[in-house]
């Protein structure tokens, strides 16, 4: 296991060297949000498949930066989400109950403005420069937020996969890397776990 500072330096290098990719991912998510606000309702299958794209991005950047640990884990997660997403129903997505909608929105906002690793000269820069799609925690925050918002696409398998990865990376960020902001990811993951159990109880 690399030392804490080595891990942080590796993540910082990814963020510094791929800021343009972060901007692209922000545009992607903002367009997705605009489309959803405009009442576009994709199927569970379509949206469940789409959310694997930023996960793939994190995996590719991890491999290319010499971080096989994150590369392997995010490759596995991308495959799981793709498989379970393709198995999701073709019905339009539906909103969760309001507590999970609220937490989901907060998780999405948190991931899109995630301030760690960013050297911003103005506050508005966080709106397009946070490392979503580049490194694990902000990416998982946005993806978990979307899953919370849209009733987990009625896929317990997607929920459980993201709970496991979200808790691992959230706790790793807080306890190993000392990034206290990642407590938000832990909270979001626990919220998704609660939703997972509530969904199974009503089945």
For 160-171, what is each residue's pLDDT tens digit? 999 999 999 999
Which DSSP state fits 114? -
Q: Among 129, 124, 122, 131, which residue's Cα sits nearest to residue 12?
A: 131
Region 17-35: mean pLDDT is 95
Residue 120 has what pLDDT? 75
Q: Among 179, 162, 202, which residue's Cα sits nearest to residue 54?
A: 162
What's the pLDDT tens digit per position in 173-194? Answer: 999 999 999 999 999 999 999 9
CA separation for the pair 30, 25 (Å, rounded) = 8
Q: Burial code of 147-156, b = ≥16 C-beta within 10 A, e = fewer?
A: bbbbbbbbbb
The rounded mean pLDDT for the chain is 93
Which pTM was predicted? 0.94
Residue 2 has what pLDDT? 72
Coil, strand or helix: which one is 92? strand
| Domain tally, the chain | 1
Boundaries of domain holding 136: 4-202
- pLDDT band, residue 197 (cuts 50/70/90): confident
Residue 202 has pLDDT above 80, yes or no: no
Q: What are phi and psi for residue 191, nearest 5 degrees?
A: -60, -40
CB-based burial label for 41 (10 Å; 0-12, 13-18, 19+)? middle
Q: Are 103 and 148 in contact (CB under 8 A)?
A: yes
What's the pLDDT tens digit per position in 134-158? Answer: 999 999 999 999 999 999 999 999 9
């Amino acid at each position: 296991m690399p030392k804490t500072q080595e891990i942080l330096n590796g993540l910082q290098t990814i963020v510094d060297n791929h800021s343009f990719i972060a901007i692209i991912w922000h545009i992607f998510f903002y367009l997705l949000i605009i489309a959803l606000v405009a009442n576009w309702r994709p199927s569970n299958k379509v949206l469940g498949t789409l959310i694997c794209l930023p996960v793939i991005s994190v995996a590719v950047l991890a491999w290319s930066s010499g971080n096989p640990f994150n590369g392997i884990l995010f490759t596995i997660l991308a495959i799981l989400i793709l498989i379970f997403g393709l198995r999701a129903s073709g019905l339009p997505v539906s909103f969760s109950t309001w507590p999970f909608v609220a937490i989901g929105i907060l998780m999405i906002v948190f991931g899109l403005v995630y301030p760690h690793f960013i050297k911003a000269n103005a506050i508005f820069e966080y709106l397009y420069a946070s490392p979503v799609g580049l490194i694990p925690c902000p990416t998982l925050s946005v993806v978990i937020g979307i899953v919370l918002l849209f009733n987990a696409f009625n896929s317990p398998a997607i929920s459980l996969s993201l709970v496991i990865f979200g808790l691992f990376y959230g706790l790793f960020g807080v306890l190993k890397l000392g990034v206290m902001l990642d407590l938000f990811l832990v909270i979001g993951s626990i919220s998704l776990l609660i939703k997972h159990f509530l969904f199974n109880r009503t089945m």
